[in-house]
Amino acid sequence: MNDALFLHRIHFAFTITFHYLFPQLTMGLAPLIVVLKTLAIRTGNESYNRAARFWTKIFGINFAFGVVTGIPMEFEFGTNWSRFSQLTGGVIGQPLAMEGTFSFFLESAFLALFLYGEKKLSKWGHWCAAFLVFLGSWLSGFFIIVTDAWMQHPVAYTRLPNGSFTVTSFWGLLTNPWALIQFAHNMCGALATGSFVMAAVGAMYLLERRNDEYGRIFLQVGVIAGFLSSMAQGFPTGDLHGKYLATHQPVTIAAMEGLFKSETGAPMVIIGQPDAEHQRIDNPIVVNKVLSFLVYGTTTAEVRGLNAFPKDQWPTNIPLLYFAYHIMVGLGTIMIAVMAVAAFLLWRRMLFRVRWMLWILLLCFPDPYIANTAGWMTAEVGRQPWLVYGLLRTTQGYSANVNAANSLFTLLGYMGLYLALGILFVFIMEREIGRGPAATEVTSIQSSPAVTVA
């Protein structure tokens, strides 16, 4: 592998993976904060307002980390992938510019109002600010998904005489079916992160026997939202996404499942290591005919294996793709199981007393983070060897004028900076969660300096 190409890929992969740890929580928490604000108005119980303020504080910290790690993303297309951006800017520049124009202005303006305006706004005005922050964060996710979906499944484009792509239908681009399915699947994942984190903090408070009242609120909201989002993550959104992928990227499905040879009544591999050299799965545990059923709805259908496709179309890193996909599905299944049991206990009014379940909820909060990351790796590693599926290869997209050493230099810079950011994040979160919701007061601009300090 060409060194510069490899480093440019790692550069983007590293910065985007680290970045997405923050937006997945903010996009997940935003609707939950709206729920808490709604409960506060409907019940008149001040505890819901305090709970909302506490989560807004957590939201604000994550938002700020999302902003500072997100700015480089907007520029890395140009710095590290200049040939790609030169060729495709006429299409994907649209959703990227729209993200700034429609989401970031909305989000930043109303986050400031939401954080500082509680005294100045009426309670419904404050609710509206929360809602608009939610809308802004989800719109932002949508525009990014539209961008990615075009790379996965290019629609509504034509080529100009100089070889670059330009958009031919604005609505065609925004309603790319791939984007709609992926958005639904991705937002379920974000909501799962928000719910698991909220439930975990609630569980921790009850285990520590402090902030009991808030612990119960967090568990109630977190477990219900977590159950619904984990379920919807698998069915229907994950299922639909898989079927759509099988239609448009069949070679990717074959590599994800580790299916080297075409089979009728293809089995699903639960565990096993794909051996690309000998084209087989080592130490397999399989369930017969399930793959055919999942993809085509019948146990007898033929699923095309990797051998049905020319080798130059195969994803370039089959083991990584296979593991990313299996980790996503495995953890997704565990998340559904955990939330189903927790929801049952909540329904039977036992959850707050069953300590082993609280422990499980506390320890499970990393699951959705890992599953979401693995899911994105599945999508992007599965897209290889293409940058724009079927149109532009990854080898043709990077900045040829930026050599390997420069790319490594900035990659190491980001690694160092993000290590410091990560440590800082853990410190700040520990401090804020330790202080708890009881300590949150209404703030105004007069008493606190920065956006995140609620």
121 to 160, contacts with other proteins by CB under 8 A?
158, 160
The two structure tokens encoding residue 120: 């100045």
Interface residue with other proteins among 32, 34, 67, 306 (CB under 8 A) is 67
Q: Which is nearer to other proteins, 177 or 416 (CB)?
A: 416
Q: Are 137 and 107 in contact (CB under 8 A)?
A: yes
Site for other proteins in 32-61 (CB under 8 A): 61
Residues 197-236 that bind other proteins (CB under 8 A): none
Cβ-based nearer residue to other proteins, 110 or 205: 110
Runs of H (alpha helix) within 384-451: 404-435
The DSSP string of 122-161 is: -HHHHHHHHHHHHHHHHHHHHHHHHHHHHHHS--SEEE-T
Site for other proteins contains 163 (CB under 8 A):
no
Query: Which amino acid is residue 368, in one-letter code?
Result: P
Span of 36-44, 83-91, 232-240, 295-303 interacting with other proteins by CB under 8 A? 83-91
316 contributes a contact to other proteins by CB under 8 A: no
The region of 286-294, 295-303, 356-364, 413-421 touching other proteins under the rule CB under 8 A is 413-421
Within residues 417-436, the interface with other proteins by CB under 8 A covers: 417, 421, 424, 427-428, 431-432
- Give the 3-state secondary structure of residue 162: coil
- Footprint (CB under 8 A) of other proteins, residues 374-403: 399-402
What is d(CA 24, CA 18) in angstroms, rounded to the nearest whole number?
A: 11
Two structure tokens written together for 401? 């004028």
Q: What is the DSSP letter of 422?
A: H
Q: What's the rounded Cα separation, in Å, for the pair 104 and 6?
A: 32
Closest CB to other proteins among residues 92, 336: 92
Q: Choose the binding region for other proteins from 91-99, 224-232, 278-286, 324-332 (rule: CB under 8 A).
A: 91-99
440 binds other proteins (CB under 8 A): no
Cα 51 from chain centroid? Answer: 24
Least distance from C-beta 398 to other proteins, angstroms? Answer: 9
Q: Could you give the string, one character per residue 92-111, with x where binding to other proteins holds by CB under 8 A and - elsewhere?
A: xxx-xxxxxxx-xxx-xxxx
- Segment interacting with other proteins (CB under 8 A) among 76-84, 179-187, 284-292, 331-339: 76-84
Q: Is 82 in the site for other proteins (CB under 8 A)?
A: yes
Contact (CB, 8 A) for 300 and 198 = no
Choose, by CB under 8 A, the member of 5, 7, 39, 113 that binds other proteins: 113
Query: Strand, coil or helix: what is 298?
Result: coil
> Which among 312, 248, 320, 331 has a CA at the least distance from the CA of 9?
320
d(CA 293, CA 302): 10
Q: Which residue of 17, 45, 166, 262 would you call a contact of other proteins, by CB under 8 A?
A: 166
Q: Which of 17, 79, 279, 316 binds other proteins (CB under 8 A)?
A: 79
Q: What are residue 313's DSSP bridge partners?
A: none
User: Which residue has 């609505």 as its token pair?
Assistant: 171
C-alpha dist (Å) from residue 19 to 28, 112, 169, 422, 452: 15, 22, 30, 11, 18
Q: Which of 164, 262, 316, 317 binds other proteins (CB under 8 A)?
A: 164
Is position 112 an interface residue for other proteins (rule: CB under 8 A)? yes
Q: Is 83 in the site for other proteins (CB under 8 A)?
A: yes
Q: Does 439 bind other proteins (CB under 8 A)?
A: no
Among 26, 62, 88, 229, binds other proteins (CB under 8 A): 88
Please report how close the Cβ of residue 91 comes to other proteins at its closest, in angstroms.
8
The least distance separating other proteins from the CB of residue 383, rounded to whole angstroms, comes to: 20
Q: Would you say 136 or 332 has its CB closer to other proteins?
A: 136
- Parallel/antiparallel/unpaired status of strands 392-393 and 386-388: antiparallel
CB of 295 to other proteins, least distance (A): 36
Least distance in angstroms from the C-beta of 195 to other proteins = 24
The span from the CA of 137 to the CA of 109, in Å, is: 12
User: In terms of Cα–Cα distance, which of 147, 136, 186 is closest to 374?
Assistant: 186
- Tell me how many residues contact other proteins (CB under 8 A): 78
The 10 Å Cβ neighbour count of residue 451 is 16
Structure tokens at 400: 């040829």
Contact residue for other proteins among 17, 38, 45, 86 (CB under 8 A): 86
The single residue among 2, 10, 78, 264 that binds other proteins, judged by CB under 8 A, is: 78
Footprint of other proteins on residues 260-299 (CB under 8 A)?
A: none
39, 45 in Cβ contact below 8 A?
A: yes
Q: Which residue from 105, 155, 156, 157 is spatially nearest to 132, judged by alpha carbons? A: 105
